[in-house]
């Protein structure tokens, strides 16, 4: 059983997988912004996810698994065009990309630890 399959189906595991999807999409948006920084008329991209997560927070903290599952299923990272940005600032974009990479690593670590706990439970603490 691979690690992703082990955590899939748990609320925590599914939430981490959704956050990883958002981080991956955010990385692609940063890359596009950097690649097109000098393109005349280019409008920067951003990923909308945290706003959705905050809106779903109460449902996710609910003790009712069905309510939490529906809230989790509604979370979907979306790429949006940033209309308020006149031009891409490379220094900010690179900094944001690095922050995103660190978050991605932290999410992978969390996923790995969650999988390790499940494996230990399945094997009753034995390897």
Distances (CA, A) of 107 to 10, 80, 111, 120: 15, 23, 6, 20
Report helix, strand or coil for 49.
coil
Name the more confident of 63 and 27: 27
Q: Work out the angle between the directed axes of helices 90-122 and 11-35 (0-180°, nearest 10).
A: 160
Q: How much is the pTM?
A: 0.80
Q: Report the DSSP beta bridge partners of residue 48.
A: 78
Query: Do 4 and 85 contact (CB within 8 A), yes or no?
Result: no
pLDDT digits (tens, 9 = 90+) for 48-69: 998 888 888 888 887 788 888 8
Distance, CA of 117 to CA of 113 (rounded, Å):
6
Which residues lie across from 80 on neighbouring strands? 46
Mean predicted confidence (pLDDT) in 78-100: 90
């Amino acid at each position: 059983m691979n690690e992703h399959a082990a955590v899939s189906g748990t609320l925590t595991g599914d939430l981490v997988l959704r956050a990883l999807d958002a981080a991956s999409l955010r990385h692609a948006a940063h890359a596009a912004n950097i690649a097109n920084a000098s393109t005349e008329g280019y409008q920067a991209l951003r990923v909308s996810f945290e706003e959705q997560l905050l809106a779903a927070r109460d449902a996710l903290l609910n003790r009712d698994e069905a309510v939490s599952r529906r809230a989790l299923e509604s979370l979907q990272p979306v790429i949006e065009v940033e209309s308020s940005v006149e031009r891409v600032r490379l220094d900010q974009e690179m900094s944001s990309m690095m922050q995103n990479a660190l978050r991605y690593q932290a999410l992978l670590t969390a996923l790995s630890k969650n999988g390790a706990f499940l494996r230990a439970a399945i094997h009753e603490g034995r390897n």
